[in-house]
Structure 1
Amino acid sequence: MAPAFVVLGFALVVLLSGLVWLYGRLSWPGLLLGLVLLAGLAVPLVRRRRAVLRRRRGYYRWGELQHRDEQGLAEAAARMLRRDGWRVRYEPWEGTPRLLCRDESGRRLDVTFRPGNGTDDGTTSAPAPLRAAGPAGLGDEIRLVVSTGAFSRGDVLWSSRQGGVHLLDGHQLQQWADGTSLGVLLGD
């Protein structure tokens, strides 16, 4: 923590020295020019910091999700799950990311990821609701497959034959990233 304060103190001394130098050279217009330059530098930094904080809280824009690989998508989904009240544990399976989750009521969630299938705009022709597939899985565990693209008819048929499998396509992923709770998408 002390090195951060040293760097911050050094930065403040440099900035104040620059403003004093400008004031000495150009008087009030120099001081005004220095303050305008500082404001011009501060605005992009504040915007970037807000975006970082928004993502840490589990809110994403579609452009931030659509080009992520499976690992990046898993990290984003873990933050969104924590935002929705789930305890998340990262457990890779056969080299792919996998999240095992539990909420306060004891429900379990197994989340896997699938790369998008070329749909880059986050929309599908007719976004279907999140699909509950058959009876509940083993021990009432909910299995969720997340993709930035759309699922094919074969994927939907496969999931309907499984127990407790839900498919989350790009459209629903965008809704979830915007702040809609996963419970709402699951129909809880």
Structure 2
Amino acid sequence: MFSRTENFSQYIRLYPVVTFFLAVNILVYLITIIPGIGDQVRLVGIGNNYLIAEGEWWRLFTPMFLHGGIIHLFFNMFSLFIFGPELEKIAGRMRFLTIYLLSGIFADIATFFLQDLDYLHLGASGAIFGIFGAFGALVHYTKHVLPQLRQIILPIILISVVMTYLQSDINTTAHIAGLIAGFLIGLSYFHPKRIARWKKR
């Protein structure tokens, strides 16, 4: 289910929304490592709770496209590359788009309200955890139909949550908030009655 066998052109054609987010995150990271310009981009976009409180509301959106280093970027984009396509295929392009963006935004909003004013944060992990949460909702509705999905997804979610608390310099608030947001959105999108309406179209 989560093994990727497509070639480059097939991947782009089959999963355009995932490809778009991969490209944007990588492009933004490349911009942030350009001397001079990169520092300015990071300063303008990083999640800064004090500046958000001062009215810079775009910082509830921009942090999900910034990363603190190549390792940070790699792990988030690897998760998106592996797990994103299956969710985009199941949910559809626009629903996947909303799961990703709303989970990321909710993660940043939760960080603003639950962390101190001097807290700084960046990264796509809130949106990535939203993908895991949406899969969790799908497992909830299909646990008797797709037991193999349950066997794969639940350990991944559990390990991801545990690692959130074991690693340092991790925005645990964003991870958990993104997971919850993705789960709640997934409960709406994957409800059996809504699935039945999709099939009738």
- Structure 1 length-normalised TM: 0.30
Higher relative contact order (CA closer than 8 Å, sequence separation 6+): 2
Greater fraction strand = 1
The structure with the greater share of residues assigned to helix is 2
